[in-house]
Chain A
């Protein structure tokens, strides 16, 4: 076989795989839009589910997802930013401690999400929550059970690597000349970080936050045992309440409902909402990241 033939074969193989991927994406979109779009309406977004989830809307699932990702971001972003600052600014590249953190972050990023769910159940609920009840609540069960707080914190662990990686990348794009200018003026290292490095990394912090939210909004496994509810007649009012979530709602309707076929239109519409939400969040993150990279050049 001569070189040319080989090239042609490889080219066609890569071409076919690309087409296949595009075909799959378009099929997913086409199926969800076709099934979901006719059922999408303002009412669908602002109403509670009715008649065993075969009618009505998904309002509590939207609110629950929003609240959960918000609490998650409040926990994951500051923690992630601080870790990224440490890795980019303070850690010596070859120190054992820095290497350990990097290894931990990488490992965290590949742990299957169901493991986070189990960890959240064991650590947050079983250990922290139950001990909180013993110490502050006289043994009355309040924190030692699934709730939006524990689900959000579990999800925060899952999305932490996303935040750390984005923020560290952004911090590293701040040119050394900017840091030198600040230090030469008599700024301390921390003043330089706070007044020059972090303001220059805002887009990166934002990107990390959005990616984390979009990841957290779609995941189901971590909240399965830690706070998501099958059905609630009311929205969560406190951190110790359970909540409904979009992803879990789809899972419930497609596997646990008494009449799966009757919930199909709602399943499609909910999937469409979730897809639109994560796609648009990701699109914003892509644009922001593109801007950072362009600036770095």
Chain B
């Protein structure tokens, strides 16, 4: 049995009085890819954002239940959210590089962690870009603005940027939904490579993408976790009727 990385118990989330997540309980294994699927508005992004406490930034959010990462409840009072987020990378649906050079984008995380030595930064930038499989394309244009790159390249720069702080978990919210098939293929390949080292959680609307990239798949519906299982099982032999209807395209 693989090691457990994230353990969620009875998690509920309310936006003011509107309950967006209902008593979610789930285990997420280490160094595997877990996919979240489900119709729009079912709470996938909301759930993903509870894992690095990004929902803290929204006013009037109330959270109940537990999220243990490596056995520690990240909603405990004495948890340092800043340190927690260093451990967890996040890739957003809309790629969001800073209006800085490629180099400065990647060096952003190391710099806020106090690394100032040029040679050390160079090394981290190169290593991160290589890990994100975009070093060859970027080598000669490290000092160009990241905003001048294509959408697919921007998204991989964002991945490299999050790798530069050495996370353990990477959260991806529909990372390829705005990209063409070739860029999407590159991101999927990258996910496959990265799971040797990182625990990856990916939200996707694309069933084939979930099937291709993930080891486990969780199906959400109206704020509830309907089921989570091995990806093959979910796609070949789902346990619930709702799941089957959704993946066969009968609704959602």
Q: Tell yes or no: A140 within 8 A of B by CB.
A: no
How far apart are the CA atoms of A175 and B94 in the complex, in Å?
A: 12
Known A177-B92, A180-B54, A180-B92; judge A185-B112 contact (CB<8 A): yes
Q: Is the CB of B86 within 8 A of A185?
A: yes
**A residues 168-226 with Cβ under 8 Å of B?**
175, 177-178, 180-188, 191, 195-196, 199-200
- A296 to chain B minimum Cβ distance, whole angstroms, is 13
How many residues on B have C-beta within 8 angstroms of the other chain's C-beta atoms? 28
* B82, A188: Cβ atoms closer than 8 Å: yes
Chain B min CB distance to A203 (Å): 12
A184 touches B112 (CB 8 A): no
Q: Shortest Cβ distance from B77 into chain A, in angstroms?
A: 18
Which B residues lie within 8 Å of A178 (CB)? Answer: 96, 98-99
Closest chain A CB from B56 CB (angstroms): 9
Segment 134-169 of B: residues with Cβ below 8 Å from A: 158, 161-162, 165
Name the B residues within 8 Å of A199 (CB-CB).
99-100
The winner among B98, B100, B158 for most chain A CB atoms within 10 A is B98
Is there an interface contact between A187 and B112, defined as CB atoms closer than 8 Å? yes
Is B246 in contact with chain A by the CB < 8 A criterion? no
Q: Is the CB of B109 within 8 A of A185?
A: yes
The proximity string for B residues 77-98 relative to A, scoring 1 for CB distances below 8 Å and 0 otherwise, is 0000011011111101010111
B82, A196: Cβ atoms closer than 8 Å: no
Contact of A186 among B83, B94, B99, B158 (CB under 8 A): B83
Q: How far is the CB of B156 from chain A (nearest CB, A)?
A: 14
CB-CB under 8 A from A177, the residues of chain B are 92, 94, 96
Complex-state Cα separation, A181 to B59, whole angstroms: 18
Q: Residues of B contacting A191 with CB < 8 Å?
A: 112
Nearest chain B CB to A202 CB, angstrom units: 11
Complexed CA–CA distance, A188 and B86 (Å): 11
Given the complex, which residues of A lie within 8 Å of B94, measured CB to CB?
Answer: 177
A-chain residues with CB within 8 Å of residue B98 when the two chains form the complex: 178, 181-182, 196
In contact, A186 and B109 (Cβ under 8 angstroms):
yes
How many angstroms between the C-alpha atoms of A187 and B52 in the bound complex?
13
Q: Does B182 contact A (CB under 8 A)?
A: no
Task: Establish whether residues B112 and A183, one from each chain, have CB atoms under 8 Å apart when the complex forms.
Answer: no
A91 to B97 CA separation, bound complex (whole angstroms): 27
How distant is the Cα of A182 from the Cα of B98 in the complex, in angstroms?
Answer: 9
Q: Please tell me which one of the listed residues B59, B100, B113, B162 contacts residue A184 in the complex, with CB atoms under 8 A apart.
A: B162
Shortest C-beta distance, B81 to chain A (Å), equals 9
Count of residues in A whose CB is under 8 Å from the partner chain: 18
- Whether B90 and A184, one on each chain, are in contact in the complex, defined by CB atoms closer than 8 angstroms, is yes
Q: Are B54 and A185 in contact (CB under 8 A)?
A: no
A182 to B86, CA, bound (A): 11
Inter-chain contact B96/A186, CB cutoff 8 Å = no
> Are B83 and A184 in touch, CB under 8 angstroms?
no
Contact with B along A78-108 (1 / 0, CB 8 A): 0000000000000010000000000000000
Give the distance to chain A from B36, nearest Cβ to Cβ, in Å: 17
Is B108 part of the binding interface, using a Cβ–Cβ cutoff of 8 Å? yes
| Given A180-B54, A180-B57, A191-B112, residue A185 in contact with residue B96 (CB < 8 A) | no
B147 nearest CB across to chain A (Å): 11
> Bound state CA distance, A195 and B98, in angstroms?
10
Verify A186–B108 contact, CB threshold 8 A: no
B96:A180 contact, CB within 8 angstroms? yes
CA distance A268 to B82 in the complex (A): 62
Which residues from chain A contact B161 at a C-beta distance below 8 Å? 181, 185
Checking B57, B83, B99, B162 against A185 with a beta-carbon cut-off of 8 angstroms, the contacting residue is B162
The listed residue with most B CB atoms (<10 A of its CB), out of A175, A182, A183, A185, is A185
B82 touches A186 (CB 8 A): yes
A residues less than 8 Å from B87 (CB atoms): 186
Closest residue of chain B to A92 (Cβ to Cβ) is B59
Chain A residues with CB under 8 A of B90:
180, 184
Give the distance in Å from the alpha carbon of A187 to the alpha carbon of B85 in the complex: 8
**What residue of chain A has the Cβ atom nearest to residue B110's Cβ?**
A185
**In the bound complex, what is the Cα–Cα distance between A12 and B165 (angstroms)?**
65
Q: Which residues of chain A come closer than 8 Å to B158, judged between CB atoms? A: 181
Could you tell me the distance between the alpha carbons of A181 and B112 in the complex, rounded to whole angstroms?
13
- CB closest residue in chain B, given A176: B57
Apart from A181-B161, A183-B85, list 18 A-B contacts with CB within 8 A: A178-B96, A178-B98, A181-B92, A181-B97, A181-B98, A183-B57, A184-B85, A184-B162, A185-B85, A185-B89, A185-B109, A185-B162, A185-B165, A186-B83, A186-B86, A186-B112, A187-B82, A188-B112
Using a CB–CB distance below 8 Å, which chain B residues touch chain A? 52, 54, 57, 59, 82-83, 85-90, 92, 94, 96-100, 108-109, 111-113, 158, 161-162, 165
A sample of 13 inter-chain contacts (CB < 8 A) reads A92-B59, A180-B96, A183-B57, A184-B85, A184-B89, A185-B108, A185-B109, A185-B161, A185-B165, A186-B83, A188-B112, A195-B112, A200-B99
